[in-house]
Structure 1
Amino acid sequence: MKKTWFLPEQWDKFYAVLCSGASFSEAARVAGVSRNGAAYQWRKTGGMTLIMGIPGGLADPPTSVGTPGTGRLSLVERATIMVRLRDGKGHAEIGRELGRDRTVIWREVKRNTNPDGSYQADLAHVRAHQRAHRPKAFKLTAMNHDLLRFIEDALEDGWSPKLISLVLAKDYADDKSMQISHETIYQCLYVQSRGELRKDLYRYLSLSRPKRVSRENQHAGGRAKPYRDALKIASRPAEAEDRAVPGHWEGDLIIGAGGKSAIGTLVERSTRFTILLHLPERHTADAVAEAMINAMGDLPAHLRRSVTWDRGTEMSGYDRIQLELQAPVYFCDPHSPWQRGTNENTNRLLRHWFAKSTDLSGYTAEDLKTIQDKLNRRPRPTLDLQTPAQALNQMLQQAA
């Protein structure tokens, strides 16, 4: 028997009619597809529970198409995502068209893509509706001992809930039982009867609050700050403060004229060894994180124990840096650059080449490497006239 092929437009029509509350048979009739073909397609796309008989249809259809631009994606926005994905557009481009962050589009596609790899707006809208109000099984119970132990140990070591969540997702990518959101961890710490975490663990968070504070009440004007979960310099280990152990770095940006160009600087506290970060186009959080990871990623683990930085917007991607380098990032107190004095002193030396109020965008990566090498070959009285390069090389040989 000859197989009948139906057009993608017919299937979109079928899904739209069915998800609007019509019966399965009615949706197939309106779309002009066979009932058997519709049943096969429904199974292929991971179809949801249906009510059989009259009138039939979806067991739990959405009650609203939503309003574009509000907190949750609307059906209209999901339809735009569907069309643009079929046009080959990326998440960032779709996000710009909808006025949404690209991560919103990425999460939407990841959560609501069909088992066959396709994304269909009406099905995605139904799944989001059903997921929003179904009861969720709570994850942090005594039954998951390994996950509990990991989180408790990490909190005691000063990790933020967000960092814990990111590391678990990376290290246990194939084990959903060992993955958890940072919000769930906060719930366990601050809401009674939610999970089995020890209730005193909140003391290890950077703010040590026994109760959660809403974002609106946390800061004047209700603006969320990117460093509310960050590690404070006060929690940096003593070995970094007294320079007894190498591998603790301080960083900052040297800003060019009009704030339009910048060069990143990283200085190791024990040896004064300096790394210059090439930021040719911009100095956003993503650009700075990428440059730091590339520059420090090849260092041995014992020479990247921590990084200390100011609370500038260029470091709002610190979670990614911590995850990739496996090193905590500590932040100075507001308006306290003296807390990373090694870096401040080094930046003053670098002004010999990078004068204030000049355009820094003309320096190539090779130019920065030349200047970096010159500075690292300069003898330092604080190192008994050793050079930073010699001091660092000595550390590497001792480790070997």
Structure 2
Amino acid sequence: MFPPDTRTEFVDLVCAGVSVNDACRRLGVARRTGSKWWNRSGRMKLDMGREGGLSDPAPSPTGPGERALSLAERGMIQMGRRSGMSYADIGEAIGRNKSVVWREVNRNTSSDGTYYASRAHTKAHQSRRRPKPLKLVENEALCALIAVWMGDGWSPKLISSMLAFYFGDDQTMQVSHETIYQALYVQTRGSLRADLAEKLSLKRKKRVPHDADRKSNSPYKEAFKISQRPAEVADRAVPGHWEGDLIIGCDGTAIGTLVERVTRFTILLHLPGDHTAETVAAAMISEMGKLPDHLRRSVTWDRGTELAEYAKIQTDLNTTLYFCDPHSPWQRGTNENTNRLLRFWFEKGSDLSVHTPDELRLVAAKLNRRPRPTLNLETPANRLAQLLLAA
């Protein structure tokens, strides 16, 4: 069992450009032990061979007063941490704010829980290099593993997470999901096969930019957000609040669905030919206009462009439309569950335009007459009838 000072001296030697073999020989430790120490300290790329050492060792340390931490300052941090000093005391000793010390230690503590000054200084030097070397240019093993996982339908985000999980001690086998995307869409940025982009769930030929222009063109900039919805909607205390969405079939065919949150009563919208904003607005106004005022207090919808005419719907129905956060279908959970039940009649990938308005009314009636456990085995139709009778 070697003392911590021996491990620190070993890391210092390798970071200074000494090969792992030579560092082990100088300290009298086995090659296998030295390799284990290096991996646990936060492995960086080594030049192979008898004379091999760290590929890009840090230059001479910078002097005090520089914006970046110097090797001497990092040495003080190393000594302070091992002496049990607080971040504030270490910061005062080196003339830095305690938050600088905390970030430095948090960023560069190795997997064995030790902060190595030489390793942290070398890593900081390599991180400042421009342009940065790309991990997917020459790392065939990493590219092969990514290709296997993408072939099984894994997303780049999942792959990045699992690489960090399986190779926590090996930085050369870890890569961010953004690097994988760059390698897929810009072939000069890596060595992944171009056809792997077809394994992505959306199968896009190029990435869609997520910039301010997309948000500025949204038709819902002035619309009410779901966070502005009154509390009576969330706790289902008052009837008349609805959730809506579309069921999509093949060739752009669709059916609109509306579900009342208290009774689970369902209305289906016939959308012949298309589901443009004008078509959906006309269908909603026609069907919901048959309800009394107190049963159309609000509607919560997803941010699909099919409801871009929400202002007209609000005016004609004297109601309020609220829109979910982006990519948050769970915020319309009642509607999502109802759509799942409706798939019994409207299968995925089928042509939904073949269903007439009478057929949609028949399906809605069957669903509304079905006992629901959430209603203590009452039916949505019975619950709605009670509300209409009370009114």
TM-score relative to the length of structure 2: 0.46
Q: Which structure: larger Rg? A: 2
TM-score relative to the length of structure 1: 0.45
